[in-house]
Amino acid sequence: MSNSLAVAAVTTVIRNRLSVLATPLTGETTTDLSDTQVTTLPPDKAGQQEDHSQVNVFLYQVQPSAPGRNLDSRGQAGRKPALAIELFYLLTFYGRNSSELLAQRLLGRAMSIIHSQPSLEPAELQEAMRGTVSNLHLGVDRVRLTPHVMPNEEMVRLWGTFQVKYRLSVAYRAAILLIDHEHPAVEQPVPSQVRVAVGTTPGAAL
């Protein structure tokens, strides 16, 4: 269970994870990706500087999660269940000086990093929102990242919305987030029942 800061916490963890793209692989002494920057910008603001490589993490859609509604047992106790949502991210890769090969290397490493550890760990979430009161790291159910197949029409529409040229991208789904209520539910008092004894009238002493 978490509060409303959970969405930003997930985005921050993804950005932090991908920051290792700038470090050499095991056995390498240097890498062409050492100048890579990881950003969280809308597509029309990303990739504007070509003097370095870039990976942009953009949260493009949030959807209610039907399976997530069953994860919160409080609804069974008569209390309003938590908000269950799924997040959809677009990861876009920009090679230095518009190099498509560098963009493809970034994509390959980024997907490998996420595939190696698809669950967001509590320590990552806690570090991501240090100084805030986000408590997503205390949740029992882990948030997992899985590749999301975005239909071509949806991809074209997304890029067309921002009126920018398509760049090499891949989509991911982060699920499931359970967000608690901003204000705790107030239990309504149960009205007392008036008992009427047999042979008496309402209002008479029992």
pLDDT value for 159: 95
Task: Inform me whether the pLDDT recorded for 78 exceeds 60.
Answer: no
Cα 92–Cα 96–Cα 101 angle in degrees, nearest 5: 70
Q: How remote is the C-alpha of 49 from its chain's centroid?
A: 27
pLDDT value for 16: 94
Rounded Cα gap, residues 131 and 33, in angstroms:
31
Over its C-alpha atoms, the chain yields an Rg (Å, rounded) of 25
Q: Please tell me whether the overall predicted TM-score, pTM, comes out greater than 0.85 for this model.
A: no
Confidence of residue 140 (pLDDT cuts 50, 70, 90): very low
pLDDT tens across 35-68, in order? 999 999 999 999 999 999 999 999 999 999 988 8
pLDDT tens across 179-194, in order? 877 665 555 555 555 5
